[in-house]
Amino acid sequence: MRTSTAVRTSTNSNDLGALLARRRTDLILAIEDGNALLRCQVSSAIAAAMLAPLKGEAAGQFRPLPGNQVQIDAAVTLPVAMQMMEAKAAMENQLH
C-alpha cells in the first residue's frame, strides 16, 4: 500500500482497514478547529513511535490487531498529530 494522507473523511466506518484500503492510503487525518483525529493501522514498532508523543496518555487511543498490527484512532491537538506523523515517517525510514 502506498503512503499518502487523506485529508478529510466523512465516513463513520467501524472497519478502519476497509476504509483505508478504499482510499488507497495508510493514514487518515481529519482536522477541525485546531484538533485532529488521526486514524491508521501500523506495525507495533511504528505504533510505539507514534504513541510516544502522547507521553503515556494513550489509553483508549489504540488497540492491538492480529499479525503484530495496531490500530490508532487518536483524537489529539494538531501539534501532537504532526509529531505522531513525523514519528511514523522517521520509523518507516529506519525500517527501510
Q: pLDDT tens-digit profile of 35-84?
A: 999 999 999 999 999 999 888 777 678 889 899 999 999 999 999 999 99
11-25 pLDDT per residue, tens: 454 677 676 667 677
Q: What is the pTM of this model?
A: 0.76
Specify the pLDDT at position 18: 74
Which domain, by its residues, includes 12? Answer: 5-95
Cα angle value 56/2/64 (rounded, 5°) = 30
What is the count of structural domains for the chain?
1
- Give the residue among 17, 23, 1, 21 at the shortest CA–CA distance from 9: 23
Please tell me which residue, 95 or 86, carries the higher pLDDT value. Answer: 86
Residue 86 binned pLDDT confidence (cut-offs 50, 70, 90): very high
